[in-house]
Amino acid sequence: MDYDFKVFESKIIEAREWLSREYGGLRTGRAMPAILDGIMVSAYGSMMPLKQVANIGIEDARTLRVTAWDASIVKDIERAIAAANLGIGTNADSSGLRVTFPELTAERREQLVKIAKHKLEEARTAVRIARDETWKDIQEKERAGEITEDDKFQLKDELQKKVDAANGELEKAFEKKEAEMAS
């Protein structure tokens, strides 16, 4: 009854990593450098990711410090952050940019929680699709005589345990993000 769940497990890992990246881009009331990951800056005649032209650090709970490698592109960085429309403020000073995160309103917090729930549901859908593909494969192996009917049902139970564990991990990630948005 040896069945290789590696394909299923790799799809679960992909779903978990995708959800983590998506949650990293959701703004909370706290300063998080990950929110600036998708920003592209026009520098040296081409579009470059912000983290390739500047250092991003946390100054305090609601402020990030963006220090450009080259002082001549600070204005370009400021424009790129403003154009990203993330609802954050920027102030240029002698050593770079200060990016401030305003307090979240209750209405915006509710919107963010809805978005986070939607992302959670997308990740769960990926888990369900992986489960269905694996179950079809198990059924085909039983029809082909590679495994017995008893083995098929044991594998189904094992598959369901893996699905439940994956959904539990995704739910914990959502709860953690929801707690971040509440504080």
3-class DSSP assignment, residue 154: helix
Asked whether the predicted pLDDT for residue 183 surpasses 70, the reply is no
- Does one domain contain both 110 and 174? yes
Asked whether the predicted pLDDT for residue 29 surpasses 70, the reply is no
For strands 54-60 and 40-43, give the pairing.
Answer: unpaired
Task: Specify which residues 167 forms β-bridges with.
Answer: none
- Nearest residue to 49 (alpha-carbon basis) of 101, 98, 84, 11: 84
pLDDT band at 12 (very low <50, low <70, confident <90, very high): very high
Instruction: Establish if 89 belongs to a structural domain.
Output: yes
Instruction: Establish if 1 belongs to a structural domain.
Output: no
Q: Give residue 138's pLDDT.
A: 92
The range of the structural domain enclosing residue 178 comes to 6-24+105-182
Asked whether the predicted pLDDT for residue 182 surpasses 80, the reply is no
Tokens in use for 137?
């494969």
- Does one domain contain both 162 and 141? yes
Taking the whole predicted model, whether its pTM rises above 0.85 is answered as: no
The mean pLDDT value for 134-155 works out to: 91
| Cα 122 from Cα 126, distance rounded (Å) | 6
- Does one domain contain both 66 and 110? no
